[in-house]
Chain A
Amino acid sequence: MTLIDLMTSKGPDLGLRLKALKKAGEHKPYDCYQCARCSSGCPSMKLLELKPHEVVGLVRMGFVEEVIESGMAWACASCLKCKERCPQDVAPADLMLALRNLAFEMGKEVPEAYTRILSEVMEFGFVQRPQEVLTKRLVRVNRERLGLPKMPEPSERFKSTFLRALEEL
């Protein structure tokens, strides 16, 4: 989707803009002067057509829902180059995370892998269970066979506190 498609589809939403701006992180879209330095070093620009300066510009104007629905924020690799190099300390990388948070909050479509790891963390404390792996000689091994100790287990209480952390905004 191009910038023009996004902007002609609907008008800006200033309330949602404020909500995005208040999300945790160090992003400051207002300080952006559209120099596009962020995009010039972005590894996702070449591969996935992500242009961080455009995302910053759209949010600044209030086209938050359009940006979220475009899925652009999920093309970011979180390499933090844009955050490091922006002359205005705008931190597009943090804005991408804020937009992802908003997508969850608003019940928008999110990548399935994120729903999966979220439920694993809730149930088990970590993003996945310990996997069996193959050795060079094709023997199946697990932590125990490798002589590694059992994984830590968060307490029963953890499940409810983590759930509450997710619900608190």
Chain B
Amino acid sequence: MFALKVAVFWGCITQTSQYACELSVRRIMKELNVELVDLEGTSCCGTPIKSVSAYASIYLAARNLAIAEATGLTDLLTVCNGCHLSFTEAMRFLKADEALRARVSSLMSEEGLTYEGSVNVWHVMDFLHDVIKKEAITKAVKRSLKGLRLAVHYGCHIIRPSPLGRPDDPEEPRKLDDLVEWIGAVSVNYSEKLDCCGAMLMLSRPDGALTMAGSKLKALRECDVDGLVVICPSCHRMFDERQRSAGAAVGVDVRVPTLYYAQLLGISMGIDEEELGLHLNRSPVDELLSKVKDALSP
């Protein structure tokens, strides 16, 4: 039996290329007795369209929120920093501006949708940290990650802009560090922790974007970490899928095992590697996995 039931919004990047994020989130939520309800008829969350038209991006966010509300569920889970920010921002704009809300509502009614602004928007990070909580997470751990030294990357959009109300502190976030430490690994502090992955720049200045990602990976190589943990599919794409090009942009063969947090949690739960999409990571995750096995040996 499921203890909790939430609507889930996957977004563009997860559903069209970063399958490891989707596979691992689906799998760990099952393990934690959370039922995920997929949404019909959703679209892009609006984030990339912010550069084209602020209004159209708010429209996209609002229609997805309306689809979630139509399920009657009170909670909506996102797996991406961009989706979480786009939804939170749109809710704020629509609440503050009645004229905007009237325009969006009338357009949406042609799709048969109604927006109330009533759903709670969660990100995997604060959902695990604040809803599932420490006790349930530690109880699910079957393999110890003891001895693993991991770096965490929050990503910009989950901690900023703080006046909007973000899941964690803009300058000293803790939740992802906690999630890593609750399951037995060490979260290593490093000075580039809050540096941007560059994902949004990929569309306009890929050279700069890859240099941003590469500089962070290069810095990590010097910190002697066993891996990098991310919580956003866009950051995952920059640090995992594009690791080779990011390294090339800064002239270094970086080799930093990079995984999405749900994959790490899944490993500690003893879940099969392929079910967590670990066969899809492009960074050398096997190096990290072999250390988990080492840590388990008597």
Contact = CB atoms under 8 A, between A and B. Distances in A.
Interface of A: 23-25, 43-44, 47-48, 74-81, 83-84, 91, 97-98, 100-101, 104, 111, 113-114, 117-118, 121, 125-131, 133, 135-137, 141, 143, 146, 148-149, 151-155, 157-158, 160-162, 164-166, 168-169
Contacts of A146: 19, 23, 277
B215 to A, nearest CB: 9
5 contacts: A80-B157, A81-B196, A125-B43, A158-B41, A166-B52
B71 interface: no
Contacts of A111: 203-204
B107 interface: yes
Contacts of B201: 44, 75-78
In the A-B complex, list the 4 residue pairs whose CB atoms are closest, starting with the nearest.
A24-B54, A125-B43, A74-B204, A79-B196
Given A154-B41, A155-B41, A158-B43, 5 more contacts: A131-B16, A146-B19, A146-B277, A148-B15, A161-B111
B293 interface: no
A77 B208 contact: yes
B83 to A, nearest CB: 12
Contacts of B17: 128, 130-131, 133
Contacts of B15: 126, 130, 143, 148, 151
Contacts of B161: 80, 83-84, 91
B72 to A, nearest CB: 18
A80 to B, nearest CB: 4
Given A149-B38, A165-B53, A47 B208 contact: yes
Contacts of A152: 38-43
B108 interface: yes
Contact of B103 (A23, A130, A148, A168): A168
Given A48-B205, A121-B49, A78 B43 contact: no
B281 to A, nearest CB: 8
Interface of B: 12-13, 15-17, 19, 22-23, 38-44, 48-56, 58-60, 63, 93, 103, 107-108, 110-112, 156-157, 160-162, 170, 195-196, 198, 200-205, 208-209, 211-212, 277, 279-281, 286
A113 B48 CA distance: 10
A161 to B, nearest CB: 5
Contacts of A165: 53, 55-56, 59-60, 107
Contacts of B41: 152-155, 158
Given A154-B41, A161-B108, A128 B156 contact: no
Nearest to A154: B43
B157 A126 contact: no
Given A44-B201, A97-B51, A126-B16, A77 B209 contact: yes
Listed residue (A121, A125, A141) with the most chain B CB atoms within 10 angstroms of its CB: A121
